[in-house]
């Protein structure tokens, strides 16, 4: 049995289309180094495009401001594993969004839910309960049952949004095997596994951020452009000017003879430079420029980098959920290894009938 991509996409459409509507804004976006989170974002954008939904705004925790929308706009919150107390900062941002839009429908895209402290769950439940039109989507049965128990909002069971990307062509067989081993707070003890014959990596983006001793070399053209940015911010910062200058970065990435890893590093470093200017020099006036740059450049390059990375291998063992999801999308043999909060096994057990004969839980 092959991975049932069309069936998964139909489940997502059937549940979400009646509640999202035709105009939305997408919040809590991942402008960071986790390819898996960006794959979820890619699936959300594919869902909007495929169903003619007009996404009128993109926002992250780094660029959030209380941008006002009419009541016809649905506030969509990026999916992932952020409801709970494992990644508490992201949950607090979700709480802020819920409080900021009392008159708009809010749809939280599919999430894994994990709380160590039930008091945190009770606090979040009370806050969510103050909103009269809030839908929470769980991406696994364990999260669904927990939300139904503690939260009084409408709870829906929906597959992870990265699965909406659909199947892509796999590369020719290489004979190589990967152990995609996460290195953050959700990591688990893997001494019980034999690593013989496996290449062991985290996402290459994470390895770059955690281990790189130097950044990508800045060319003369980059130095001139950054000098213009600093001059512009001293005079009269205007979004069109900054967008024009940042478009030069995108054009150079498209025309330059760079491998995908170098493209990503240039793009990531540019994002962080914009964060620096925005926070310390411009008091948030670059928020919309950052959102535009992330959606136009950072997202597509990050997705391409993830695909290029996984396509090097025929077999993937993974403690990262989206390492497995991307492997399925690319037609690889995949072995899921559970993480510390069991979100992988719960995802697998919930949707195993759709995942195909080359996908296993070990």
**What secondary structure does DSSP assign to 149-214, as a single string?**
HH--SEEEE---GGGGG---PPPPP---EEEE---STT----TTS--TT-EEE--HHHHHHHH-SS
Q: Which tokens is 131 given?
A: 């909103």
Each residue's pLDDT tens digit, 19-29: 999 999 999 99
Residue 155 has pLDDT above 90, yes or no: yes
Each residue's pLDDT tens digit, 42-76: 999 999 999 999 999 999 988 877 788 999 999 99
Residue 95 has pLDDT above 80, yes or no: yes
The conformation of residue 113, written as its DSSP 8-state character, comes to E
Closest C-alpha to 110, from 76, 86, 80: 80
Residue owning tokens 């709480």 = 95
Which residues touch 260 (CB under 8 Å, ≥6 apart)?
A: 301, 304, 305, 308
Question: Could you tell me the pLDDT band of residue 214, with boundaries at 50, 70 and 90?
Answer: very low
More confident residue, 134 or 285: 134
Residue 250 has pLDDT above 90, yes or no: no
CA distances from 111 to 194, 264, 290 (A): 31, 27, 25
Q: What does the CA dihedral 326, 329, 330, 332 come to, rounded to 10 degrees?
A: 80
Closest C-alpha to 141, from 158, 154, 153: 158
Backbone angles phi, psi at 169, to 5 degrees: -70, 130
Each residue's pLDDT tens digit, 156-192: 999 999 999 987 766 667 889 999 988 765 556 565 5
The mean pLDDT value of the chain amounts to 88
Q: Percent of the chain scored above 70 by pLDDT?
A: 86
Closest C-alpha to 145, from 135, 134, 156: 156
């Amino acid at each position: 049995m092959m991975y049932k991509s069309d069936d998964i996409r139909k489940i997502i459409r059937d549940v979400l289309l009646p509640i999202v509507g035709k105009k939305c804004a997408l919040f809590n976006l991942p402008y960071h180094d986790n390819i898996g989170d960006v794959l979820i974002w890619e699936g959300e954008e594919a869902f909007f495009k495929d169903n003619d939904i007009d996404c009128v705004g993109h926002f992250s925790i780094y660029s959030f401001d209380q941008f006002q929308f009419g009541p016809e706009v649905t506030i969509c919150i990026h999916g992932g594993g952020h409801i709970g107390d494992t990644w508490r900062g992201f949950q607090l941002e979700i709480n802020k969004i819920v409080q900021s839009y009392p008159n708009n429908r809010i749809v939280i895209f599919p999430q894994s839910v994990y709380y160590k402290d039930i008091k945190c769950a009770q606090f979040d439940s009370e806050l969510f309960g103050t909103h009269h039109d809030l839908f929470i989507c769980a991406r696994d049965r364990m999260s669904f049952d927990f939300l139904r128990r503690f939260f009084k909002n409408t709870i829906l069971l929906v597959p992870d949004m990265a699965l909406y990307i659909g199947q892509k062509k796999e590369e020719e067989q290489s004979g190589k095997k990967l152990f995609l081993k996460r290195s953050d707070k959700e990591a688990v003890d893997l001494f019980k596994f034999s690593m013989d014959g496996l290449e062991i990596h985290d996402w290459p983006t994470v390895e770059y951020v955690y281990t790189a001793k130097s950044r990508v070399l800045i060319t003369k053209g980059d130095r001139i452009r950054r000098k213009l940015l600093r001059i512009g911010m001293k005079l009269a910062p205007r979004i069109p000017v900054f967008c024009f200058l940042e478009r030069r970065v995108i054009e150079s990435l498209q025309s330059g003879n760079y491998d995908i890893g170098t493209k990503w590093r240039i793009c990531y470093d540019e994002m962080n430079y914009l964060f620096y200017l925005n926070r310390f020099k411009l008091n948030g006036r670059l928020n919309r420029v950052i959102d535009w740059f992330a959606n136009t450049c950072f997202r597509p390059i990050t997705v391409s980098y993830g695909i290029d990375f996984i396509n090097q291998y025929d077999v993937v063992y993974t403690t990262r959920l989206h390492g497995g999801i991307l492997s399925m999308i690319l037609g690889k043999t995949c072995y899921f290894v559970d993480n510390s909060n069991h979100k992988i096994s719960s995802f697998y057990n919930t949707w195993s009938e759709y995942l195909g004969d080359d996908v296993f839980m070990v």
